[in-house]
Structure 1
Amino acid sequence: MSQTDKSIFEEFESEVRSYCRNFPSIFTKAKGYKMWDEAGQEYIDFFSGAGALNYGHNDPVMKSKLVEYISNDGITHSLDMATSAKAEFISKFNDVILKPRKLDYKIMFPGPTGTNTVESALKLARKVTGRTDVISFTNGFHGMTIGSLSVTGNAAKRKGAGIPLHHSVTMPYDNFVDNNSSLDYLESFLEGGGSGVDIPAAMILETVQGEGGINAASFDWLKKIEQICKRWGILLIIDDVQAGVGRTGTFFSFEPAGITPDIVCMSKSLSGFGLPFAITLFHPELDIWSPGEHNGTFRGNNHAFVTATAALSYWEDKEFEKSIQNKSKMIHDFLVKLNQDTPELNGEVCGRGFMTGIVSEVDGLASKITAEAFERGLIMETSGPNDEVFKLFPPITIDEDGLKKGFNIIEESVKSILKEPVTN
């Protein structure tokens, strides 16, 4: 097979592309936790499509169901019309996910992206409460469309909007300032008549901030946020686009905190296969939409319904969740030991579950480590406002052998970057 001329991307594709600059190969094949490029180079994938491939690449059960559905001329596109594929997903999602967790949510199908589920959540919160402002949190990331950007903390991404972003107030995330002072600060703004902050329609947050630096909120902080929301009649929106679907050890990232959000945003790995798919969950009493008040041409992605339904079969086996948590401990223990054994990192382990990393205070170090890892056959990216975290996002289905192979490459990469220069 002839090699692809890379100049085609330089010549015709926009300068906005980013991941291809960090992973400068032309990929041709992927299976499980591995990817291959045109030259036949094999890579271990600790990136998982930025969290969109929690079950790895080309899961055989999902692939089989999808191929069968396509071969039988199943409906591909249906907007919000009723299809058997949609009915099967709704039924299984209720039976396997919602009912066992005693969660009473209506399911809304917005457009198929993460930013669209966030947009629908913000619109619904404002419609229900009649208020306009939304409280978001430092280093939060919620999407790239205007509403989602307004509640996103990253200055560079906000600047891309090209207009002022209004009707949002940013408050400190857990550990952004010491101890519980962030909550005291928040409550003082809600209570203070001179604070300039109106009672908001909602608060939106990630329980673990993906793009913002793999910052994990404590369960105590999350519980207190929920209490504050209830006290003031504020709707709590949990953005589980990246942290959900097992990424932090449970299907929903908020489960261990014992909270029940008013609205939940999900996308990325929900389809199980990397197909665009999103849902917005909310309490039935909040369902005051008029027909068509929020819609999207591709909200009826039936191929995604098929693979998402197949993916939910993993969660029928309680051992599956236990396996994620067991492997999560392996990841955590590896990072703790690596950090302890390498004081030159000047680092700290961060995150939760399969959403972890090491934040380093050494400028540019995390980027050098990820670049070195790629040269050695491992794909992982950086996170944080200054790319100060190298983060581990393996698929949750990876086996222990695959994890250990990835760990070895990371350790070798860290040692290579930190080794002292040879002196004559």
Structure 2
Amino acid sequence: MSGGVASDGGFNPRLIAGVVAIGVIAFIALWALIALGPQLSSGNDGGGHALSKAAPGYAGIVDLLERSDAAVDLRRREEAPMLEDPELLILTPGHTTKADDLARLISEQRGGAVLIILPKWRTGRHPSKAGWAGGGFASAPSPKMLPPAAGRIDKIGSEPNARGAQAKGHLGGSPMALTLPNLRTQVLNAPDLETMIAFPHGGAVLAKQPDAAIYILSDPDFVNNLAFSSRDRARAAAILVDAVAEDAGAYSVAFDVTLNGFGSQRSLLRFAFVPPFIGITLCLIAAGLLALWQAWMRFGPALKPARAIAVSKAALIANSADLIKQARRELDGADAYVRSQRSAIARRLHAPDGLDDAATDRWIDKHLRVGGETFSALARRLPLARNTHEFLADAQALHDIRKDLLRDSQ
């Protein structure tokens, strides 16, 4: 057996308090991260969105536009802010994005300019490098991913082109020529849309809805991080975005990231951790901590409920006296009280046998000090008491005589 000293108790109060405190803090932090996680995330996950620094992402064009003193916003909410100047909203959907999600964001723009950059690359996360894209391949999206508001698109496909070929058109009132980045380019065929920049062999690289300021860029390699492999392509990407904004009459650019899972949608859980409701949440947390502290710092053991009727002679006497008082029968016990005092004194002082009550009273009087109240006088007067005050006074006098004669406190 171990020779260590046994602990005084089964648990250490400080240790238990620490465990409870850590549990409460962890619980609150968990729900806060669940509510605010998408909004606080850096987003550098290798995907195709404005927060990603991987090849299919758009962090490069965002950084370049900011360095060019352009007004750029990363929008994490579906609701468009109320702005004085028009804004170009850039949507970067993925292959699994639904048409209803795109339609909702276009509707929230309230007629403002929208640029939809179609997805092209299907990639995974790099197994060892965080923020890098893993092995990927080009895959054209389905035309059904676009909502009816964007116009009817017949086909989105990959088309071959000669090295160094250019896609030409007019944008923002000026001619535009884009050098095709690869030997194959993703092109859309949409007869109902206005071709802004045409592919050399037919189809459109950039098209516009005739009845709305909705632009569709078929190949993301013109503006994504792959375009920043050279200075010329990076400059062309910035010129393309600036030309679309100029053609739409927009003064600022906003990149949406809600389609890629980094939005802060409306939810009661999120509202609990943002102004103005964060104050109520903090008050509730403080109230819970105070309740926990009160339970922890309770003084002494828990109080047990007392018996309705105490178990003792004193309790029995008190209960009996209370019953007599409630029945208003205090004066009816005078004769019994006199007999009990007479009997106790006669027995203790060994009074002669055969004495009646009057003779016993005179015998007791002989043992009293001269000049005081006699026992016989009190015994006659007590049953004739008219109220409780007279009764208590004479009863106390009889009790004092008994104390003097018997030298006890009964």
TM-score bracket relative to the smaller structure: under 0.3
Work out which structure has the larger RCO, using CA pairs closer than 8 Å and 6 or more positions apart in sequence.
1
- Rg (Cα) greater in structure: 2
